[in-house]
Chains A and B, each alone.
Chain A
Amino acid sequence: MKSTIFHPFHVAAGAKMVSFAGFEMPIQYPTGILEEHRIVRTGVGVFDVSHMGEFEIRGDDALALIQKITINDASKLEPGKAQYSAMCYPNGGIVDDLLVYHRGDHYMLVVNGANVDKDLAWVMENAASFANVTVTDRSEETHLLAVQGPRSIDTLQKLTDAALADVAYYSFVDGTLAGVPMILSRTGYTGELGFELYFRGDATVAATVVNAIFDAGKEYGIAWIGLGARDTLRLEKGYCLYGNDIDQTTNPIEAGLGWITKLAKGTFNASDVIANVKAAGPTRKLVGFVMLTEKLLPRQGYEIVSNGDVVGKVTSGNTSPGLNIGIGIGYVRADLAAPGTQIEIKARGTTFPAEVRKMPFL
C-alpha cells in the first residue's frame, strides 16, 4: 500500500485511514464527517488528494492527441485555463473523467487515483499513432492539496503574491506559496470557493506548505477533511464520481455529460457512437433524487422502483448535511428522468418514497 507525503500529518491529526486507490488515505478525522462537511461549507478545509494522477503531454501533436482521446474541445483552451472532460473507449464507455490543463508549452491531464495505470496505458496506446508527442506520468512526484471553503482565499492569500481573487473558476496561475513553487488552480470537488495546489518536493517542502496553510487558516478554524466529507460535499453538488456514477459501462450522454461532449470538434474516440446515442436519445439517464422520508439513506446498489417495476439503480447516496435528508444519484429509465417524478428506493425488503430533483441539490 502506498502513502502520500502528507501521511504523517493525517496520523498526527487522528485520522481513520482506509485503503483507497492503492493508497492509505484518511476517510475521516476525530470530529467526524458531518462536522468536516460543515467546516468546508462555512470556513476552510484541506484535502490531501495526492492519490490523483498527473500526466504531462508534450510535443507538436499534444493537442491532436488530447482532441482524439477526450470528448470536450481542448482547442478552446487557452494557456492558464483548465477544462473538465472525459475519455471514452470506442464503444462509448467512459475510461475516466479528468481535468485538462493548458500549461503553455504543454498540457497536464489530471485523472482519478484509482485509474492512473489504466489511463496511462490508454493514453500511451492512443499516442502511438502520433509522431510528435510524449506522455510522462508525473503522479509519483506531484503532491496535491485542495484548500476549499469560503475562507480559502483569505487563508491562502496570506502566503502568496498571486492575486487569487482574480483567478477565475477553472483557471490557474504558476506562483509560489510559502516560498514553494506550485500551480494554484481555482478548481475543486466541493462546489465551494477553493484552490487545488500542485507542487513537488520532499517531506520538508510538504511540511512547509502544510504548516503555513494551517497557520494562515487557524483564525478561520481550518481543519483536515477526509474522503467521507469529500463524498457528501460532491454529492450535494451532483458531481459524478468515477466508479460509482460513471464507468466503462456508461456513456457520457446518459450520464448527463452532454455539456462537455463537443461533437462539433470533429472525429474523436467514440464520437460516432455518442452521436448515435444523442440522436436516438438515451434509454436511461443519470438523475438526482431526494428521499421523501428520513427513515432511509440511499446507498450505492439499491434498486430504484416505479409502479412495482425496477427502473434503475442508485449509484451514489448519503445524507445531505445541508438539506438534512437523504439524497442520491442513479440511473433511471429515460421516461422517469424529469424533475418531480415520484420514484421509490428499495431496501430492507420494502420501498421508501423519493422524488427526482434537478442537480445540484443545493
Chain B
Amino acid sequence: MNFPADLKYTKDHEWIRVEGSIGTIGVTDHAQGELGDVVYVDIPDASATVASGGTFGTIEAVKTVADLYAPVSGTITEVNGDVNNAPESVNKDPYGAGWLVKMNLSDLSELDGLMDAEAYKALVGQ
C-alpha cells in the first residue's frame, strides 16, 4: 500500500496536497481498497464552501457507499471531471489521476491537525 510522504491524511481516509492556499483532495489507497471498484463520485455543489469535517460529496463503489469529508475548511474551486468518465482511476491512481476536488483553503493552520504519512500508516495498521 502506498503512503506518499508529501501528503497530509485524515482519519476519514482522505489525503490533501497543499500548494500555496490550494489543496488537492482525494481518498487514500487504503480507502479505495476498502471501497472496492469505484463506480461514481457525486459532488452536488462544485463551488461549495465546506467546514473542516463537513461532507462535500459521496463516493459510490461496488462494495459500499462513503461520504467525502473536507480535511480542512475551504471552498471548492475545481472538481475532477475526468473521474466519472473513468472512475477506476480512483482505484488505480488514488493520489494522481483519481484526485477528486481542489479547494481554496480558508485557514492553513488547520493543516497542523492532520496526520503525516507515518501517522496515517500506523492508523491503518501498516
The residues of A with any CB-CB pair to B shorter than 8 Å are 27-28, 32-34, 228, 232, 294-297, 299, 318-319, 326, 348
Contact = CB atoms under 8 A, between A and B. Distances in A.
Contacts of A297: 39-40, 60, 65
Contacts of B124: none
B40 A34 contact: no
Question: Which 10 residue pairs of A and B lie closest in terms of their CB atoms, listed nearest first?
Answer: A34-B37, A33-B62, A297-B60, A295-B42, A319-B39, A32-B37, A294-B40, A33-B37, A33-B36, A319-B62
B91 interface: yes
Contacts of B63: 27-28, 33, 228
A228 B36 CA distance: 10
A28 B42 CA distance: 25
Contacts of B58: 348
Contacts of A326: 60
Contact of B62 (A232, A294, A296, A348): A232
Contacts of B39: 297, 319
A180 B42 CA distance: 51
B36 A32 contact: yes
Interface residues of B, number: 12
Contact of B60 (A28, A32, A228, A296): A296
A33 B61 CA distance: 10
Contact of B91 (A27, A32, A228, A295): A32
B65 A318 contact: no
Contacts of B37: 32-34
Nearest to B55: A348
Nearest to B34: A16
Contact of A228 (B42, B62, B65, B84): B62
A295 B87 CA distance: 12
A27 B63 CA distance: 9
Nearest to A37: B62
Nearest to A16: B33
Interface string B47-62: 0000000000010101
Interface in B45-98: 58, 60, 62-63, 65, 84, 91
Nearest to A324: B39
A295 B65 CA distance: 11
Nearest to B62: A33
Nearest to B42: A295
Which of B36, B37, B42, B58 has the most chain A CB atoms inside 10 A of its CB? B37
